Structure 1
Amino acid sequence: MYEQIAANRRNTLLLTVSMTLLLLALGYLLGVLLLDSPWAGLVIGLILAGIIAAVSYYNGSSILLNAVNAHEIQKADDPQLFNAVEELSIAAGLPMPKIYLIDDPAPNAFATGRNPKHSAVAITKGLREKLTRDELQGVMAHELGHIENRDILYMTMLAVMVGTIVILADISRRSLWYGSSRGRSSRGGSRGSSQGILIVIAVVLAVVAPLLAAIIQMAASRQREYLADATSAKLTRYPEGLASALEKIANDSEELQTPNRALQALFTVNPLDKHVPTSSLFDSHPPLEERIKRLRSIVGAPS
């Protein structure tokens, strides 16, 4: 457990450095293509990296919660839910997280925040209405597991940065026509050759960067799901609750109304692909069948 927490902190730092370098590269290319000044591009990239890192750390949760149209609820709105989360928080030795409701009929949930003192759990209306108390506790304990294991900062920053990379890559692709037209109208010779090389690099980076970011995000998410499942079993002492909830979520016919590929790794069950038979580089979650099998293999769980 403590090794995973330490690894999450190292990964958060590594992620920030990697994304900064990627943003600098994108800024450099955009500076050459649009401003005819690579140094201006580097400065812009550095400024963007600083802004994005700060926004991800301090406001990443708000960005993600707004992206799914979640609104905060109070204990008076749902005493039973709050009591369940309070009991689990005490068992985990964690502060009570804020609770948000997503007005969506598809059952699902996710946790976000920069640390346990600044954390939140968001659940859909469908999850609240369709699960039994034991199943609901299992899912809430799973999300608290992400908070306890310090997954939330890493995954929150990763979600925001992946979304940013996708946007910047799209801007890079759109700027290629403008940049290439500038290159055709500028002086020929070595300058034109250099311009052409940079355009090729920009094309490759614009295509590859989102894919690499997605692969990093998915790989990080898969291992964290197994750990959060185990934490749920530890907190509830009833792994069948989460196992049954996962089955119910997987078999539910409703689809999340606000799916977002940058957010899929955060949810209890991937809302974009619930029935993945085997893991691949682009899967944000392990196969549900394997997660359920592991939960039911825990001593005391019904088979």
Structure 2
Amino acid sequence: HVKNYDIRVMTIVVIMVGAIAIISDLFFRIRLFGGSQNDNRSNGGGQLGAVLAIVGVVLLILSPIIAELIKLAVSRKREYLADASGALLTRYPEGLARALEKISASPEPLKTANAATAHLFISNPFKGRKAKSLFSTHPPLADRIAKLRGMA
């Protein structure tokens, strides 16, 4: 992860997603607090305000969902890149695949794992918990192992 500048990439992703959230909040607040007390419907001001309000509410609702989906997609791709970089560094992708198999052999999820720190684990710490595994920051170990074996 260090060699591939994952911290830099995730920082850029967070900034971009944060910008979407700020813009959606701005649209909502412009409509909520920015309108005048006069009736602007005769000159079209009411229509613009209504459009801004609708856009703001839609973005306000969707931006957290979009942010999470973007974060998960980028995180999964970076895990594959980290595996490939590790295979190039060690020149032994089969060994890395076997190490991932050993990690995946543990049948129980970690009881002390927290959703806020799940991205720090090598594999999904919530395996077996369907609700938490849907939003995993790591791709399935079987897929990672298959890609490493494909490099050999």
- TM-score band, normalised by the shorter chain? 0.5 to 0.7
Of residues 124, 131, 138, the one that matches 1:285 is: 138
Q: Is the 8 A contact 1:217 1:265 kept in 2?
A: no
Aligned to 1:159: 14
- The CA RMSD measured in Å over matched residues stands at 4.1
Aligned to 1:219: 73
Aligned to 2:47: 193
**d(CA) in 2 for partners of 1:270, 1:246:** 9
AA of the residue aligned to 2:37? S
**d(CA) in 1 for partners of 2:79, 2:145:** 12
Q: Is the 8 A contact 2:6 2:78 kept in 1?
A: yes
Structure 1 counterpart SS, 2:40? coil
After superposition, give the CA deviation of every residue in 1:229-266 in whole Å (9 maximum; x if it has no partner).
2333444543123432354497323222xx34xx8666
**d(CA) in 2 for partners of 1:199, 1:166:** 15
**What's the offset of the Cα at 1:199?**
0.6
**What's the offset of the Cα at 1:215?**
3.1
AA of the residue aligned to 1:180? L
Q: Is the 8 A contact 1:233 1:295 kept in 2?
A: yes
Q: Aligned pair 1:232/2:86, yes or no?
A: yes
TM-score, normalising length from structure 1? 0.36
**More strand per residue:** 1
Q: Is the 8 A contact 1:246 1:288 kept in 2?
A: yes
**What's the offset of the Cα at 1:181?**
6.5
Aligned to 1:168: 22
**d(CA) in 2 for partners of 1:282, 1:180:** 33
**What's the offset of the Cα at 1:202?**
1.0
**d(CA) in 1 for partners of 2:109, 2:142:** 12
Matched pairs, number: 143
Structure 2 alignment gaps of length 5 or more: none
After superposition, give the CA deviation of every residue in 1:10-54 in whole Å (9 maximum; x if it has no partner).
xxxxxxxxxxxxxxxxxxxxxxxxxxxxxxxxxxxxxxxxxxxxx
Distance 1:181 1:165, change over 3 A: closer
AA of the residue aligned to 2:38? S
**What's the offset of the Cα at 1:288?**
2.5
**d(CA) in 1 for partners of 2:22, 2:81:** 33
Distance 1:231 1:248, change over 3 A: farther
User: How do residues 74-113 of structure 1 correspond to structure 2 at under 5 angstroms?
Assistant: none
Q: Taking every aligned residue pair, what percent have the same amino acid on both sides?
A: 32
TM-score, normalising length from structure 2? 0.61
Q: Aligned pair 1:251/2:109, yes or no?
A: yes
Structure 1 alignment gaps of length 5 or more: 1-145
**d(CA) in 2 for partners of 1:250, 1:165:** 39
Distance 1:234 1:180, change over 3 A: closer
Structure 2 counterpart SS, 1:185? coil
**d(CA) in 2 for partners of 1:168, 1:276:** 33
**d(CA) in 2 for partners of 1:249, 1:156:** 34
Aligned to 1:150: 5
After superposition, give the CA deviation of every residue in 1:42-95 in whole Å (9 maximum; x if it has no partner).
xxxxxxxxxxxxxxxxxxxxxxxxxxxxxxxxxxxxxxxxxxxxxxxxxxxxxx
**d(CA) in 1 for partners of 2:45, 2:67:** 32
**What's the offset of the Cα at 1:168?**
3.0
**What's the offset of the Cα at 1:295?**
4.4
Q: Is the 8 A contact 1:158 1:217 kept in 2?
A: yes
After superposition, give the CA deviation of every residue in 1:92-111 in whole Å (9 maximum; x if it has no partner).
xxxxxxxxxxxxxxxxxxxx
Question: Relative contact order (alpha carbons < 8 A, sep ≥ 6): 1 or 2 greater?
Answer: 2
Q: Is the 8 A contact 2:72 2:137 kept in 1?
A: yes
